[in-house]
């Protein structure tokens, strides 16, 4: 972040990945994700507000607002206080900066739950979870100052360093060639929920059971869940619609595992599994799992990841693209995005384990992650785990939950314990799943 | 239970609906009484003006320089439209627009003196107002308007205003240009 003399506010450019989000986002395509924590006690609003303000002092990269330049948007220091409210909207809704003191994230609470909705232009799930954990630590320390005296002190000493560099530009390969698939994807069929509602169904999975089952098949948890998801889509939506298009699953990848980076800005890429359901063995779960395992192995190689990442960086760095005025960029991107989005059936993001320090764990029940669905990708999936609970979430604008039900039944049939939580939008159906 | 029972999804468009209703009533009245005078169009352009200003003003902590710019542009368009509806005798271009530009520049002049330490917030609007202030000269050169005096007064005041901004806040202006035009 660039610091200016006197009273001038900090500002920084958007990272390569973030550039696209404010240009393409709107009420129907929010590009917002949510992280939630369910505590074992009711939330105190005033304490939560103090916790957020404290976290903003630690992570100044979140204390920003979006400003528009002539060619690109940029981030500028926000001098206002964040607004903390009781939850009253559907999850992952477009964050209107004007009603949110210009912040690009929104903290809400409901009973035992704290939510943070984050606009993707600000950061990705991985760095978002770091900021969210800071809020949780601050909240618990403020609630129980005597219990957390030691922890608070050691956290202050051991605070990890971070920056806001654009790690994409630093690590991309100019010569790498794109490996993107040119085939359009199968788009989930079905009526949409009315009145702009979003359904959230959380399948809280017993992690031990899940580990046992995926190890039995020689797969990782992400591979196993991806295969179950594809199988559920095939059985509950694809089979009856006689499509020839492949099911394409987009899986975000945390690039910090591949490159040294301390950035709190976006630093992720993705792999896309292209599953041709007409191929041999693809109508069985075992066939799908074998395909997923093999594809993960090939696509998660460093050179493949670099290819995808570099293609996106090259596009953002293209002198011609850079010279197009922002308003024209918006128009072009929004038009082209209608087509681009047809290349993915569903997104599944697993941000993995929420590592929480010692004593703090006693106050936490589980974590949730949600991604905003949109008119073409009508369902988006996400998961995260804490202790022995893995929360697999379906956020959907489809007016039926056949896929969710199939997914749930499949896990149950394979002796994996699952509990359901939902926001009640598809209430009659979600209670049936129970 | 981890979600509230009733989630909010409806949006209230009361101001738009009310304005729309008034606009339709005016057109109907105009149609049946004195249809040869298009007064409903002029009144409706006033409603559109109120909408724009209202929606802009509803936003919290609006930048005052942004307001000056918006009022200058919207009022200019409104007066040209009314002038056009009443036979386009050019009073909007000859008198009103130069006066609006003079007022905008004097306001920015005062704003720069009073709070030049916070000038970076106003810098972009200052540049846009200066750009808009060229309009009377262009209109005069192109022989569209003929009021030389008003044109000269407006131009002198806008040059003085821009000059003052450059003297007091050149660094802020440069910084703003770097931010806004980074590629």
Domain boundaries, chain A: 11-169, 181-433
Q: What is the pLDDT of residues A301-320, one digit of tens each?
A: 888 888 888 888 888 888 88
Pairing of strands A389-396, A379-386: antiparallel
The band of A33, judged by pLDDT with boundaries at 50, 70 and 90, is very high
Question: What residues of A are in contact with residue B12 (Cβ under 8 Å)?
Answer: none
Task: Give every strand in the sheet of A199-206, ordered side by side.
Answer: A268-275, A247-254, A346-353, A379-386, A389-396, A199-206, A418-422
Q: Does A266 or B147 have the greater pLDDT score?
A: A266
Give yes or no for residue B114 having a pLDDT over 90: no
Distance (Å) from the alpha carbon of A286 to chain B's nearest alpha carbon: 35
> Hey, what CATH topology would domain A11-169 get?
Chloramphenicol Acetyltransferase (3.30.559)
Residue B23's pLDDT is: 80
Helix and strand numbers (H, E) in chain A are 13, 15
pLDDT above 70: residue A3: no
| Residue keyed to tokens 């945390």 | A254
B contacts of A101 (beta carbons < 8 Å): 60
Q: Which residue of B has its CA nearest to A108?
A: B3
Distance of CA A265 to the CA centre of its chain: 14
- What is d(CA B169, CA A51) in angstroms, rounded to the nearest whole number? 38
> Which one of A8, A90, A389 would you mutate to disrupt binding with B, by most B Cβ within 10 Å of its Cβ?
A8
Whether the per-residue pLDDT at B12 is higher than 60: the answer is no
Record: contact A76-B179, CB cut-off 8 A: yes
**Complex confidence, ipTM:** 0.80
For residue range A216-258, list pLDDT tens digits in order: 999 999 999 999 999 999 999 998 887 889 999 999 999 988 8
B5 interfacial to chain A (CB closer than 8 Å): yes
- Rounded Cα gap, residues A394 and A358, in angstroms: 30
In which band, very low, low, confident or very high, does the pLDDT at A429 lie, cut at 50, 70 and 90?
very low
CA A341 to chain centre: 17
Q: pLDDT for A353-367, tens place per residue?
A: 999 988 899 999 999
Contact between B7 and A425 using a beta-carbon 8 Å cutoff = yes
Q: Is B118 on the interface with A (CB under 8 A)?
A: yes
Separation in Å, CA of A270 to nearest CA in chain B: 26
Whether domain A181-433 has CATH 3.30.559.30: the reply is: yes
**Predicted local confidence at residue A406, as pLDDT:** 95
pLDDT at B123 > cutoff 90? no
Q: Do A110 and B8 touch (CB under 8 A)?
A: no
Are A7 and B60 a contacting pair at CB < 8 A? no
pLDDT at res. B117: 72
**What percent of chain A is predicted at pLDDT more than 90?**
63
Q: Regarding predicted confidence, which is higher, A208 or B106? A: A208
Rounded CA-CA distance A293/A276 in Å is: 15
Residue (of B55, B63, B57, B103) closest to B79 by Cα position: B103
Q: Who wins on pLDDT, A173 or A3?
A: A173
Q: Tell me which residue in A69, A86, A421 faces B181 most closely, judged by beta carbons.
A: A69
Cβ–Cβ contact B10 with A under 8 A: yes
CB contact, 8 Å: B120 with chain A? yes
DSSP code, position A284: S
Q: Which neighbouring-strand residues pair with A77?
A: A64
- Chosen from A7, A35, A86 to mutate, greatest number of chain B CBs within 10 A: A7
Write down the mean pLDDT value for chain A. Answer: 89
pLDDT tens sequence across B35-63: 677 777 777 777 777 777 766 666 555 67
Task: Output the pTM of the full model.
Answer: 0.82
Comparing A31 with B22, the larger pLDDT belongs to A31
The reply to whether residue A74 touches residue B7, judged by beta carbons under 8 angstroms, is no
Residue A2 has pLDDT above 80, yes or no: no
Model confidence at A31, pLDDT cuts 50, 70, 90, reads very high
* CB-CB neighbors (< 8 A) of B183 in chain A: 71-72, 322-323
Whether A69 and B175 lie within 8 Å, measured CB to CB: no
Average the pLDDT over B17-38 and give the result: 76
Query: What's the confidence (pLDDT) of residue B57?
Result: 65
B120 with A112: Cβ contact below 8 A: no
B137 min Cα distance to partner chain A (Å): 26
Answer whether A8 sits within 8 Å of B172, measured CB to CB.
yes
- Of A17-26, A244-253, A384-393, the range with the lowest mean pLDDT is A17-26
**What mean pLDDT do residues A3-19 have?**
76
B8 interfaces chain A, CB cutoff of 8 Å? yes
Nearest to B7 among A4, A76, A90 (CB): A90
Q: Residue A67: its chain B contacts at CB < 8 A?
A: 179
**Angstrom distance (rounded) from CA B150 to CA B153:** 5
Binning pLDDT at 50, 70 and 90, where does residue B6 land? low
Residue pair B127/B69 in contact (Cβ under 8 Å)? The answer is no
Q: Measured between CB atoms, does B12 come within 8 Å of chain A?
A: no
């Amino acid at each position: 972040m660039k610091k200016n003399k006197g009273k001038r506010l900090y500002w920084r450019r958007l990272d390569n990945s973030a550039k696209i989000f404010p240009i393409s986002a709107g009420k129907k395509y929010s590009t917002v994700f949510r992280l939630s924590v369910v505590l074992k006690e009711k939330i105190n609003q005033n304490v939560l507000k103090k916790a957020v303000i404290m976290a903003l002092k630690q992570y100044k990269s979140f204390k920003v607002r979006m400003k528009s330049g002539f060619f690109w948007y940029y981030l500028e220091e926000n001098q206002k206080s964040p607004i903390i409210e009781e939850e009253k909207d559907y999850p992952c809704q477009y964050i209107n900066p004007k009603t949110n003191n210009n912040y690009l994230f929104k903290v809400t609470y409901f009973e035992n739950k704290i939510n943070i909705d984050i606009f993707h232009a600000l950061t990705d799930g991985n760095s978002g979870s770091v900021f969210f954990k800071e809020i949780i630590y601050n909240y618990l320390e403020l609630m129980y100052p005597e219990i957390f005296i030691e922890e608070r002190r050691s956290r202050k000493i051991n605070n990890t360093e971070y920056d806001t560099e654009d790690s994409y530009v630093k690590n991309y390969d100019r010569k790498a060639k794109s490996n993107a698939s040119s085939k359009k994807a199968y788009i989930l069929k079905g009526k949409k929920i009315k009145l702009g509602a979003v359904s959230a169904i959380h399948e809280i999975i017993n992690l031990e059971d899940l580990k046992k089952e995926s190890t039995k098949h020689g797969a990782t948890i992400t591979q196993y869940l991806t295969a179950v998801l594809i199988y559920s889509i095939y059985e509950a939506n694809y089979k009856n619609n006689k499509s020839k298009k492949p099911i394409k699953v987009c899986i975000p990848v945390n690039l910090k595992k591949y490159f040294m980076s301390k950035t709190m800005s976006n630093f992720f890429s993705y792999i896309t599994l292209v599953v041709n359901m007409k191929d041999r063995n693809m109508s069985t779960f075992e066939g799908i799992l074998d395909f997923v395992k093999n594809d993960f192995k090939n696509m998660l190689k460093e050179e493949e990841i670099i290819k995808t990442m570099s293609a996106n960086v090259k596009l953002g760095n293209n002198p011609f693209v850079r010279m197009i005025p922002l308003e024209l960029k918006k128009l072009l991107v929004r038009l082209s995005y209608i087509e681009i989005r047809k290349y993915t059936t569903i997104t599944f993001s697993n941000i993995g384990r929420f590592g929480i320090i010692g004593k703090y764990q006693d106050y936490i029940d589980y974590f949730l992650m949600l991604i905003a669905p949109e008119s073409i990708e009508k369902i988006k999936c996400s998961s995260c785990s804490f202790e022995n609970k893995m929360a697999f979430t379906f956020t959907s604008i489809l007016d039926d939950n056949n896929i969710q039900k199939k997914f749930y039944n499949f896990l149950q049939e394979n002796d994996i314990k699952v509990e359901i939580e939902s926001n009640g939008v598809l209430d009659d159906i979600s209670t049936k799943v129970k | 239970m981890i979600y509230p029972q009733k989630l909010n999804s409806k949006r209230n468009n009361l101001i738009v609906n009310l304005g729309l209703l008034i606009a339709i009533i005016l057109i109907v009245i105009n149609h049946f009484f004195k249809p040869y005078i298009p007064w409903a169009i002029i009144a409706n352009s006033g409603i559109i003006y109120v909408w724009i200003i209202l929606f802009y003003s509803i936003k919290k902590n609006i930048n005052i320089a942004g307001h000056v710019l918006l009022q200058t542009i919207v009022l200019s368009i409104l007066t040209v439209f009314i002038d056009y509806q009443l036979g386009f005798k050019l009073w909007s271009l000859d008198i009103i627009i130069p006066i609006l530009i003079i007022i905008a520049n004097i306001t920015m002049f005062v704003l720069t003196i009073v709070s030049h330490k916070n000038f970076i917030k106003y810098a972009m609007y200052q540049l846009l107002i200066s750009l808009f202030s060229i309009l009377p000269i262009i209109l005069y050169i192109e022989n569209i308007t003929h009021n030389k005096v008003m044109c000269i007064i407006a131009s002198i005041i806008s040059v003085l205003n821009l000059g003052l901004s450059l003297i007091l806040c050149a660094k802020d202006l440069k910084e703003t240009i770097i931010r806004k035009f980074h590629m």
